Amino acid sequence: MAWGNGTVATEFILLGLSSDPTMQIILFVVFLVVYMMILLGNSLIIMVTATDSSLHTPMYFFITNLSILDICYSTTGAPRMLKDSLSVKKTISYAECVAQMYIGLSLGENECMLLAVMAYDRYIAICHPLHYTVIISKSVFIKAAAGTWICGFLLSIPDIVLICSVGFCGPNKINHAVCEVPEVLALGCGNTAIVEFVIFAIGVIVLMIPITFIILSYVRIILAILKITSSAGRLKVFSTCGSHILVVTLFYGSAMAAYLKPKSKSSANVDKILSVFYGTVTSMLNPLIYTLRNEQVKTALKKMKIRKLLSIHL
């Protein structure tokens, strides 16, 4: 099987997070619980925003998209990690490995842009409240959400094309639980420095443009909040942004630490932990952040519970 000038391996072996059998069982239980929490928490957010008319706003439409994205993103790697935790043979085909990298990259880039769109939504809501419904109309926020999905899957194509241009003729053991770009490239034959540099440059652009946009949006928001004379008013306005700021910090902090650090300072064990964190843990925490810190969502959940109780009694 060949691509370009290089020979392509037919399969890889995933070494996983640990080679100790006892630790593998522990990891299986931990990841199973985390994955179930991701599915339940994000599904609950989707259900409550769909059923409660008071949440049919652009902000909650974007939150619903984030929940769908988190379910898809975690499903890219979590089921495979669960399977391999109890398997002796942890091989993954070349095609499946490429597909996993492509989907993971696409969804990660999608989340970067979606978080930027959500920051812009908060900026318009706080800084231009009288024009909010005109600027963020239904057609606008639907197109914005669709655009993040389309761009995410398009922007990751150059990375995958570059990876597929690399030949794999040596060891086929990936020191990770999933197929991650840096670990796969480390198995490439010959000098992969140019490919690594181009992928790194693309990563910088994809990560830095949205985070710069988010920072600029929140600078304007903070300046607007400081003009509010009432401390209670400032706190109320800032609380509407608190959940988003926390989600951005968790996602971008772990992603930038994993992809933008110098290769000389890279550690296999640290890279694995960071990958698991932004791939699963952030997806688990997002629903908790939005429900525990958001009064509207908590009220909607209570109403949904009351409706269920009434339906049971009826």
Q: What is the CATH number of the domain that holds 258?
A: 1.20.1070.10
- Relative to beta strand 91-93, strand 11-14 is antiparallel
Give the domain extent around 32.
2-313
Residue at 183: amino acid letter: E
Do 138 and 57 contact (CB within 8 A), yes or no?
Answer: no
Q: Please write down the HEC assignment for all residues of 35-78.
A: HHHHHHHHHHHHHHHHHCHHHCCHHHHHHHHHHHHHHHHHHHHH
Ramachandran category for residue 174: left, alpha or beta (phi over 0 → left; psi -120 to 50 → alpha): beta
| pLDDT tens per residue across span 224-259 | 888 877 777 777 777 778 788 888 888 888 777 766
- Each of the 314 residues of the chain gets a pLDDT tens digit; together they read 344 444 556 889 998 888 888 888 888 998 899 999 999 999 989 998 988 888 889 989 999 999 999 999 999 988 988 888 888 788 999 999 999 999 999 998 999 999 999 999 999 998 998 999 999 999 999 999 999 999 999 999 999 999 988 888 778 898 888 898 888 888 888 778 888 888 888 888 888 899 999 999 999 988 888 887 777 777 777 777 878 888 888 888 877 776 666 655 556 666 677 777 777 888 888 888 877 667 777 787 777 765 555 455 44
Q: What's the token pair of residue 72?
A: 């898809």
Phi, psi for residue 13 in degrees, rounded to 5? -115, 125
Per the structure, the count of domains in the chain is 1
- For the chain, give the mean pLDDT: 83
Query: What pLDDT is recorded for position 235?
Result: 77
- Distance of alpha carbon 258 from alpha carbon 235, whole angstroms: 34
| pLDDT tens per residue across span 75-102 | 998 898 888 888 878 899 999 999 999 9
Do 260 and 203 contact (CB within 8 A), yes or no?
Answer: yes
Q: What's the token pair of residue 223?
A: 């300046």
